[in-house]
Structure 1
């Protein structure tokens, strides 16, 4: 089942986030809590047998700056914003490679279309470019983001044409 996250999911979402992202890449428990509370319609989880195994979360804005670290704390978030910025897509290690990230991402894209959003933006590591391209995301450029001290790539999905 795919549904909005609630505070009951906080600890599990934090565990998934920290197991899926290395070091400074992972959001803190406090950031995850703020994302659930501030924009639940942009925070979806995939649940199997009453266990959350995957998550996707995002914020909305009309001004997209992918290298803006403050946005990861939802500073500048506007629920009415027409552009969605994905902050995390993560699957618990025991459930990786089973298609759950794609299933959740597809549901997230459908939801954002239903909410009349224009575009979805994300940054990803090189090895995930092809994965996101399968869902209609187009490669934009190497990102200015230095999040976690890593190199990132910007991708965008136009919701009126892509996916």
Structure 2
């Protein structure tokens, strides 16, 4: 297997990213292909893909806000997104199940964090399920609180990393 390639997403990646999204998120928590395409189109700098042997196997996508409200569902469609805002909000961190457990999510996150630092961002926010809190803490995130969001009918936890 070749070395991983990290790159910005293109419109042609939307379908593959949607396929991966639906394997990793349950029910209504997965973004639609249209939302993924919108995120690529409106904020390509915040949409990082991981490619192995010419195939996308994982990605992170995000938006930016001046005031972060993690339970804001409209933000997932980039309503209120401002590319110049100092705070990054991650919407998805996904690796194809066939490639999980090989350290790719940590590599993807490390590259994403480095890029956001280079862009002068102040914080990165995300929501995760209970089982992922420890994983994100190991990556440098700090636990904030249980989230008011019930996206997809699930319980979520808010995490933040100060850059």
Q: Under a length normalisation based on structure 1, what TM-score does the superposition of the two structures give?
A: 0.97
What's the counterpart of residue 18 of structure 2?
A: 14
Report the alpha carbon displacement of residue 63 of structure 1 after superposing the two structures with TM: 1.1
Q: Deviations over 1:71-123 (max 9, x none)?
A: 00000000001000000000111111111111000000000000000000000
1:22-101 aligned within 5 A: 22-101=26-105
Structure 2 residue ranges without an equivalent (≥5):
none
**2: distance between equivalents of 1:17 and 1:143?**
21
Partner of 1:121: 125
Q: How far has the Cα of 1:135 moved from its partner?
A: 1.2
CA-CA distance at 1:35 after TM superposition: 0.3
Report the aligned-residue RMSD: 0.5
For residue 111 of structure 1, what is the aligned residue in structure 2? 115
Matched position secondary structure for 2:148: coil
What is the number of residues matched between the two proteins?
159
Paired residue secondary structure (2:16): helix
TM-score for both structures, normalised by structure 2: 0.97
Task: Quote the Cα distance in structure 2 between the aligned partners of 1:150 and 1:14.
Answer: 20
Deviations 1:28-51 (A, max 9, x none): 000000000000000000000000
> Shift in Å at residue 8 of structure 1?
1.2
For residues 4 and 105 of structure 1, the distance between their equivalents in structure 2, rounded to whole angstroms, comes to: 14
Residue ranges of structure 1 left out of the alignment (5+ in a row): none
* Matches of 1:155 and 1:119, distance apart in 2: 10
